[in-house]
Amino acid sequence: MPELLTAFRYRVVLEGARAAAGFAECSGLEVEHELFEFAEGGQNRFVHKLPTRLRPADLVLRRGLVPVPSELWAWIEAIGAGNYQRRGGEIRVYSADGRRSQAWRFERGIPVRWSGPALSATQSAVAMESLTIAHEGLRAG
């Protein structure tokens, strides 16, 4: 039986970025077919459902807030200034012995949301930031 992979041995690689910090969470590894519904005349028992576009979900990356301006923040500011730097990237999952076992590549990503930490004087949790990346395709490889 093949080895099942764990959800905590992974790495996110963004093109054109140095590894400033690892990400604590990565979500949005998801694609969905849009459907075209066609009601055939005289056929009242069902509606034909035909797949059309494959729509990827946005990726959401979360990590602990670092005390220096990050490359992620610089990417967002560049977009706001009209410098649309689209980047590809890869999410890699590793086996227990450290071998790369699975990967998903996204194409032409662009940051669409940054969220800062929820600050509270009554908690001692790590301050987290998140970045949402819209992209134009996800493929396994």
What is the pLDDT at residue 21? 56
| Domain region containing 65 | 10-140
Phi-psi region of 124 (alpha: psi -120 to 50; beta: other; left: phi over 0): alpha
The verdict on residue 1 lying in a domain is no
What is the pLDDT at residue 31? 94
What is the pLDDT at residue 5? 86
101 burial (CB, 10 Å; 0-12 / 13-18 / 19+) is middle
Q: How do 100-115 and 31-38 pair as beta strands?
A: unpaired
How far apart are the C-alpha atoms of 85 and 111, rounded to whole Å?
9
What is the pLDDT at residue 16? 79
3-state helix, strand, coil in the chain (%, to 5): 5, 45, 45
The verdict on residue 134 lying in a domain is yes
Q: Give 10-residue mean pLDDT values along the chain (141 residues).
A: 85 78 89 94 92 95 84 86 91 92 95 92 92 95 83
Helix (H) / strand (E) containing 72: helix 71-80
The verdict on residue 3 lying in a domain is no
Tally the domains of the chain.
Answer: 1
What is the pLDDT at residue 20? 46
The verdict on residue 80 lying in a domain is yes
The verdict on residue 70 lying in a domain is yes
Distance of CA 85 to the CA centre of its chain: 17
pTM: 0.85
The verdict on residue 76 lying in a domain is yes
**CATH number of the domain within which 88 lies:** 2.30.110.20
What is the pLDDT at residue 67? 82
The verdict on residue 56 lying in a domain is yes
The verdict on residue 20 lying in a domain is yes
